[in-house]
Amino acid sequence: MANRIAVLEDRPEIVTLYTVLFESFGVSHGLNLQAFSALEGQRHFEVVLMDYSIPGDDFDTSLAYVKAHLPKAHRILISGHVDTESLATRYGQDFQRIFAKPVDIIELRSFVERLMNISVSA
């Protein structure tokens, strides 16, 4: 069965955490946009978790890529940025939800599960 969640995150330990957390859904990841864009058959991903700051990547470019290639996937932004409010103002429309790091992982899981149920019922 194909993985349902895609993660764009540069920190391997956080990717590990997501992989265990969403084991039942299956997680594919890229540590940067180049690696992420190489993921096979992207259109089946239902949720995309995106980190805001990835060394070497421009966030707007990454977002444009995700919107273009995974148009139906729910997008969640996870940010360690100092000013999360300004991110919410700028990107609020582009994401189902913005989580500030350190993320409440249980809440994140519940939210993703809700999205998945919606996704399944839809």
Residues of this chain that bind another protein (CB under 8 A): 10-14, 16-17, 19-21, 53, 55-56, 78, 80-82, 100-106
Q: With respect to another protein, which residue has the nearer C-beta, 14 or 47?
A: 14
Residue 53 Cβ vs another protein, minimum distance, rounded to whole Å: 7
CA distances from residue 115 to 11, 70, 91 in whole angstroms, order as listed:
24, 15, 19
18 vs 95, which CB is nearer to another protein? 18
Of 13 and 40, the one with the shorter C-beta distance to another protein is 13
Partners of 74 in the β-ladder: 47
User: Are 42 and 71 in contact, with CB atoms under 8 Å apart?
Assistant: no
Question: Can you tell me the distance from the alpha carbon of 99 to that of 88, in angstroms, rounded to the nearest whole number?
Answer: 10
Nearer to another protein, 57 or 70 (CB): 57
CB of 108 to another protein, least distance (A): 8
Q: How far is the CB of 98 from another protein (least distance, A)?
A: 14
Min CB(119)–another protein separation in Å: 22
